């Protein structure tokens, strides 16, 4: 079979530890035999980020802006332990946060469904996609430990020098203070990314916050979503036969657990962080969860929702075989290849991505699994495999489909 050509590249972003090992396996066994792979490569492994003073992270983000599509391996966000382990010059920022900031993107996380893994919520029949506004809120909040009684005073200083006092709190004892923020520009980008993604996937969009309690902060999110929807998207949603609605987050949680799924749930930063883990666990496993960063300008970065699987990497360094689940990383590649094919009108590339995903799902449904799935799958004849053998099993099915 003649290899599939890619006239335009995708941005390939390599990563760390066990996922970096799996990354090479996926390319060698599942992609390169069938695709004349055209990528612009960036090494975001922690060693190279340290060598380049993290400039490589910024470079790859702007490459995604240029080429529109990227695929990213999981990377380490260093802590104090990693500082010593890798002899780092600095505790470099999360690469995902840097890329999100440059693309001004929203993270969409979606479970990969297979017939022999039943969701713990019995009513769920379709995917629930979490759209997380990955900016601001508690993740960039300023915090202060109050050590004695007193009064909190806050002041906003405008660029023209004018000031405005913000009502504070009286403390009659020790306590804590947290000040968080968000920006209209970021919220507007979040809204447009959600509306565009819903149209792209032809799915209903829910948005929920707590505006009855947070009458300024959360209510402002609600108002921005409503205004953009009415002015820019209402007619397009109606034509597509899909719905947008807002509801309080506690009402949304009740609706979600009674629903059959099949919608996108947009959430503020902390809410999205929590609910994406809840949804992934309820559907089965974080290793079966895809993640795509989407900008309002139509730029896409695909990756697995999980981390670098450090424990397995240390075993790999000892020469041991590991049973690390590669599915989410494979689906990061298929997502990027499919989007590249859609943008370039390459039906062969889209079909290949579909066939590779089908090969993964069929392998699991026929009982070939990695160790993390053994207590989740139904059926009596399941075979637990190491990572390489599992990828080889997927490759066998893929070869049959692309003949």
- CA dist 269 and 275 (Å) reads 10
- Which of 282, 374, 279 has its CA nearest to residue 325? 374
Structure tokens at 67: 């080429």
- Which of 98, 8, 107 has its CA nearest to residue 59? 98
Strands (E), 88-227: 106-111, 128-132, 142-146, 150-151, 154-157, 163-166, 170-171, 175-179, 204-209
pLDDT of residue 77: 92
- CA dist 225 and 237 (Å) reads 14
Structure tokens at 195: 């509306």
| pLDDT surpasses 90 at 155 | no
**Percent residues over pLDDT 90 in the chain:** 86
DSSP string, 274-310: HHHHHHHHHHS-GGGEEEEEE-TTS-EEEEESS---H
pLDDT of residue 229: 98
- What's the rounded mean pLDDT across residues 277-294? 90
Which 8-state DSSP code applies to residue 89?
Answer: S
The model's confidence at residue 363, banded by pLDDT at 50, 70 and 90, is: very high
Please name the fold of domain 1-112+300-403. Answer: Isopropylmalate Dehydrogenase (3.40.718)
Structure tokens at 285: 């496993």
| pLDDT surpasses 80 at 270 | yes
- CA dist 305 and 293 (Å) reads 11
Q: Tally Cβ neighbours within 10 Å of residue 54.
A: 19
Does residue 368 contact residue 307 with C-beta atoms inside 8 Å? Answer: no
pLDDT of residue 287: 86
pLDDT of residue 207: 98
pLDDT of residue 285: 81
The model's confidence at residue 305, banded by pLDDT at 50, 70 and 90, is: confident
- What's the rounded mean pLDDT across residues 192-211? 96
Q: Tally Cβ neighbours within 10 Å of residue 174.
A: 11
User: Lowest mean pLDDT: which of 70-74, 150-154, 202-206?
Assistant: 150-154
- CA dist 364 and 346 (Å) reads 28
pLDDT of residue 23: 97
| pLDDT surpasses 80 at 130 | yes
pLDDT of residue 1: 72
> Domains of the chain: which residue ranges?
1-112+300-403, 118-135+183-283, 142-179
pLDDT of residue 139: 85
- CA dist 261 and 267 (Å) reads 16
**Percent residues over pLDDT 70 in the chain:** 100
Compute CA distances 35 → 4, 82, 122, 391, whole Å.
5, 36, 40, 17
Give the 3-state secondary structure of residue 43.
strand
The 10s digit of each residue's pLDDT in 255-264 is 999 999 999 9
pLDDT of residue 167: 81
Q: Exposed, middle or buried, 381 (CB in 10 Å: 0-12/13-18/19+)?
A: exposed
| pLDDT surpasses 80 at 254 | yes
- What's the rounded mean pLDDT across residues 208-229? 97
Max CA pair span of the chain: 77
């Amino acid at each position: 079979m003649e290899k599939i050509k890619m006239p335009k590249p995708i941005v390939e972003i390599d990563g760390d530890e066990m996922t970096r090992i799996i990354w090479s396996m996926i390319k060698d066994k599942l992609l390169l035999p069938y695709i004349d792979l055209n990528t612009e490569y960036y090494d975001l492994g922690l060693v190279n980020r340290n060598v380049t003073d993290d400039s490589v992270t910024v470079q790859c983000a702007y490459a995604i802006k240029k080429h529109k599509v990227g695929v990213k391996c999981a990377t380490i966000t260093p802590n104090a332990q990693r500082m010593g382990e890798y002899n780092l010059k600095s505790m470099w920022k999360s690469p995902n946060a840097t890329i999100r900031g440059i693309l001004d993107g929203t993270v969409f996380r979606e479970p990969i469904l297979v017939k022999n893994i039943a969701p713990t919520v019995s009513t769920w029949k379709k995917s629930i996609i979490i759209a997380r506004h990955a900016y601001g809120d508690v993740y960039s909040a300023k915090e202060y430990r109050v050590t004695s009684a007193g009064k909190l005073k806050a002041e906003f200083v405008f660029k023209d020098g004018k000031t405005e006092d913000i009502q504070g709190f009286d403390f009659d004892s020790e306590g804590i203070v947290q000040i968080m923020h968000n920006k209209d520009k970021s919220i507007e980008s979040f809204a447009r990314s959600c509306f565009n993604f819903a149209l792209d996937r032809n799915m209903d969009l829910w948005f929920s916050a707590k505006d009855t309690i947070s009458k300024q902060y959360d209510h402002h999110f609600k108002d921005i979503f409503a205004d953009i929807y009415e002015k820019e998207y209402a007619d397009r949603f109606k034509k597509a036969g899909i719905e947008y609605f807002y509801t309080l987050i506690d009402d949304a949680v009740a609706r979600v657990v009674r629903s059959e799924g099949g919608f996108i749930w947009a959430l503020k930063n902390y809410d999205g962080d929590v609910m994406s883990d809840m949804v992934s666990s309820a559907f089965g496993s974080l290793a079966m969860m895809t993640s795509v960063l989407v900008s309002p300008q139509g730029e896409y970065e695909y990756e697995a929702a999980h981390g670098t699987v450090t424990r397995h990497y240390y075993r790999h360094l000892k020469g041991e075989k590991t049973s690390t689940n590669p599915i989410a990383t494979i689906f990061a590649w298929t997502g990027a290849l499919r989007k590249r094919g859609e943008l370039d009108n390459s039906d062969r590339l889209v079909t290949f991505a579909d066939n590779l995903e089908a090969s993964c799902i069929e392998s699991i449904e026929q009982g070939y699994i990695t160790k993390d799935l053994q207590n989740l799958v139904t059926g009596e004849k399941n075979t637990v495999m190491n990572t390489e053998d599992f990828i080889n099993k997927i490759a066998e099915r893929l070869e049959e489909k692309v003949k």
